[in-house]
Amino acid sequence: LVSRLQSSIIAYAGFLRNGPIHDLASTSGAEPIMIFLRPVSLWHCWDAVIVVLVLCSLVTHAWETKDQALSQAVKLVSGSENFGVSALSTTYPFDHPIADLAGHVITGPEYFAPCAATGSLLYLGLTISQTWRNVLNSKTKNATASIVSDIDPAVPDPRHTSKHHPDQWQGHRPSWRRGMPSKARVTLFGHFDVLNGTQYPHLADKALRCYLDHHPDASHWAPNATESPHIPFWATFNVDKVYWVGGFGDEHYIGWFTGEEWNAVWKDQHVRAQNPFAHKEGAASSAGSTSQVEESLEEEDRPLLAFQ
């Protein structure tokens, strides 16, 4: 679309500047050839007009702002819709002993728990895992975590069923607009900090309690599990950058958020969840209530885990 629009505008600009080209002689010395660009240019102009109108209609049809999308992204990750499962990607080190794996990425599903008030995610790693070996053997401990909403086409997108949104999930909505591409997904770019559970047992206990609240089945391989042969450890994923695809671009926002934006909205939603009435009261009482909630979060805002 962009290239067609570009070529059309250039052709039309040349037409306006030079008009039709007359008396273009061939190199063989034959009689001059009369070439008129007017019809071609007009067709290019019409093509450009159509493209511009289509693009404008797409832009005006989208109803999400960046702020709305960021709020939705935080709710998607912190909510229960995704069952606390992410697709976690890590990279094999370039000096990996198996040359065929060096520098490659491995991706697999991993449980996470939204235990912190600051936007980071708690993971339970196992030293036997290829994914987690890459984390432990990396200096940066960088990774990406992708999280999606319900991809079942039979399950309506909750954003389209809300009475607060203008584009409802109507019965006549085409089937191709009901699947995964029409729904929200987010990729978090960040790095891990690994807990030294021996040095900070009280923080390890806090992590265990929060994580098992979200994933009770993990008690069979979590720290202190007597039936697991594996070595587990706690790791916090700190979000540095976020890429959001809200769905089809004519309806939803697609773009980037900074780590600071992510953490700020996450904390704000955490405050609201702790005191949902704080933002509904009068200005004076609201400020007081919010202040009390923020004070109660001072302990939570400190790192949930202390790290190696």
Burial 183-215 (b: 16+ CB within 10 A, else e): bbbbbbbbbbbbbebeebeebbebbbeebeebb
Neighbours of 100 (CB within 10 A): 8
Mean of per-residue pLDDT scores for the chain: 77
pLDDT digits (tens, 9 = 90+) for 3-62: 444 444 444 444 444 444 444 344 444 444 443 444 445 555 555 545 444 444 444 355
The structure tokens listed for 40 are 């071609």
State the pLDDT at residue 27. Answer: 42
Residue predicted with more confidence, 276 or 18: 276
The structure tokens listed for 269 are 């939603």
Q: Is 233 helix (H, G, I), strand (E, B) or coil?
A: strand
State the pLDDT at residue 276. Answer: 57
Would you say residue 303 has pLDDT above 50? no
Would you say residue 189 has pLDDT above 50? yes
The structure tokens listed for 229 are 């042969």
Q: For strands 142-148 and 121-126, give the pairing.
A: unpaired
- pLDDT bucket at 88, cuts 50 / 70 / 90: very high
Q: What secondary structure does DSSP assign to 160-184, as a single string? A: HH-TTSSS---TT--GGGSSGGGS-
Crossing angle, helix 259-274 and helix 283-296, to 10 degrees?
110
State the pLDDT at residue 171. Answer: 65
Mean pLDDT, range 111-129, rounded to an integer: 97
Crossing angle, helix 2-18 and helix 38-61, to 10 degrees?
140
pLDDT digits (tens, 9 = 90+) for 193-229: 999 999 999 999 999 999 999 999 999 999 999 989 9
Q: What is this structure's pTM?
A: 0.71
- The least confident of 28-37, 136-145, 147-156, 246-255 is 28-37
CA-based nearest residue to 195, from 232, 141, 234: 234
Ranges of H-type helices in 130-277: 130-136, 158-161, 201-214, 259-274
State the pLDDT at residue 194. Answer: 97
Give percent above pLDDT 70 in the chain.
66
State the pLDDT at residue 103. Answer: 95
Q: Can you name the residues that pair with 108 across neighbouring β-strands?
A: 88
Instruction: Provide the sign of the torsion angle of the four alpha carbons 48, 51, 53, 59, taken in this order.
Output: negative
Q: Is 125 helix (H, G, I), strand (E, B) or coil?
A: strand
Using CA atoms, how far residue 63 sits from 66, 99, 148, 248, 256, in Å, is: 10, 48, 21, 11, 17
Contact in structure between 289 and 271 (CB atoms under 8 Å): no
